[in-house]
Amino acid sequence: MPELPEVETVRRSLEPYLPGRRITNIEVRDPRVLVDLTRDELQNLVGQRFTDLQRKGKQLYFPFDRDILFIHLGMTGQLTVRDPRRKDQPFTRQKVTGLERSLQHAVDPHTHISFDLEDGFQLHYRDVRKFGKWRLLPKAELDLHLRRLGPDPLTDEYTLKHFAQALAKTTRDVKAVLLDQSVLAGVGNIYADEALFVAGVRPQREARKLGRERVKRLYEAVRSVLQLGIQNGGTTLRDYIDGQGEAGSNQEMLWVYGRYGQPCRKCGLILRKAVVAQRTSTFCVHCQR
């Protein structure tokens, strides 16, 4: 599900609800998403208030009094807030689509963690495949933990120099570099394919063989496709919803991801797919070299 634009959309959509609210109860139904963390340790957050909602790449992190809660949504993680003032929607809407079913938390077998907050608000974590990960780390370990990630492309730590150097020193496929979270944090399979198309670069091109001009185009394409994704509230293919249960619309804007067999939106040639960096990749052999 979630790459940088989806995670950022979740973060923003939770922002009006969580900061300042005290946690009154925590229920963990399936502890498998907890990493180096027991149910009891998570209970330490009861009585504390949410403060800032932060993000680096695909990693969400929420500072509390002494510890920081890290949440990675994996492939199918959903973090949603229930607002008691909106009884009618979206959580009790009567549609019967899969997306809507996910909002009936009380009876949903995939909602593994629920927080009760002040004023009747609730925060729910749903994750069908359970690839998501929750960690609780002391504040002192924040830098250590974030340092394992490369720069977030929406910050000014993301520089052409750094990006070019990372590409120049490896024989890997360029797509593998885009997906490497220690090089840059936040690009996954969708936005890697999209950025490569926008830059006119084939995913299987050897990273160090890209010329200066194409490196620069790719550097900028990464940022532009992520920004567009955020602008459109993320890409909803099946599971992704934001913190208020809303789907995104960026799937309507995709140039190539998931469109193999269909005509290229720029030149009309049928898009091809190949496995690159162990992931299905879609590209246009005419527009991408």
In the set 58, 126, 135, 259, the catalytic residue is: 58
Q: Is 161 a catalytic residue?
A: no
Q: Is 56 a catalytic residue?
A: no
Binding-site member from 8, 42, 57, 103 for DNA (CB under 7 A)? 57
CB neighbour list of residue 247: distance below 8 Å, 6 or more residues apart: 99, 233, 236, 240, 241
Question: Min. distance of Cβ 238 from DNA in angstroms?
Answer: 3
Q: Among the candidate windows 42-50, 150-158, 232-240, 262-270, which touches DNA by CB under 7 A? A: 232-240
Asked if the bond preceding 31 is cis, omega within 30° of 0, the reply is no
Task: Choose among 254, 277, 258: nearest CA to 174.
Answer: 277
Task: Choose among 17, 2, 110, 131: nearest CA to 55.
Answer: 2
The b/e string for 64-103 (b: 16+ C-beta within 10 A; e otherwise) is beebbbbbbbbebbbbbbbbeeeeeebbeeeeeeebbebb
Binding residues with DNA: total (CB under 7 A): 42
Q: What is the rounded end-to-end Cα distance, in angstroms, of the chain?
A: 28
Residue 237's φ and ψ, nearest 5 degrees, are -95, -50
Q: Is 3 a catalytic residue?
A: yes
Question: Min. distance of Cβ 87 from DNA in angstroms?
Answer: 26
Nearer to DNA, 6 or 8 (CB): 6
What residues numbered 90-129 form the site for DNA, per CB under 7 A? 98, 109-110, 128-129
- And the tokens for 242? 């934001």
What residues numbered 123-142 form the site for DNA, per CB under 7 A? 128-131, 133
DSSP 251-272: GGG-SSTT-TTSBPTTT-PBPE
Residue 54 sits in the site that holds DNA (CB under 7 A): no
Q: Is 252 a catalytic residue?
A: no
Q: Tabulate helix, strand, coil % of the chain (nearest 5).
A: 30, 20, 45
What residues numbered 181-220 form the site for DNA, per CB under 7 A? 181, 187-190
Binding-site member from 29, 41, 280, 285 for DNA (CB under 7 A)? 280
Question: Min. distance of Cβ 134 from DNA in angstroms?
Answer: 12
What residues numbered 248-277 form the site for DNA, per CB under 7 A? 258, 277
In angstroms, the CA 17 to CA 14 distance is: 5
In the set 3, 6, 8, 194, the catalytic residue is: 3
Residue 238 sits in the site that holds DNA (CB under 7 A): yes
Binding-site member from 85, 96, 106, 171 for DNA (CB under 7 A)? 171
Residues that bind DNA (CB under 7 A): 1-3, 6, 32, 57-58, 72, 74-76, 98, 109-110, 128-131, 133, 170-173, 176, 179, 181, 187-190, 234-240, 258, 277-280
Task: List the catalytic residues.
Answer: 2-3, 58, 279
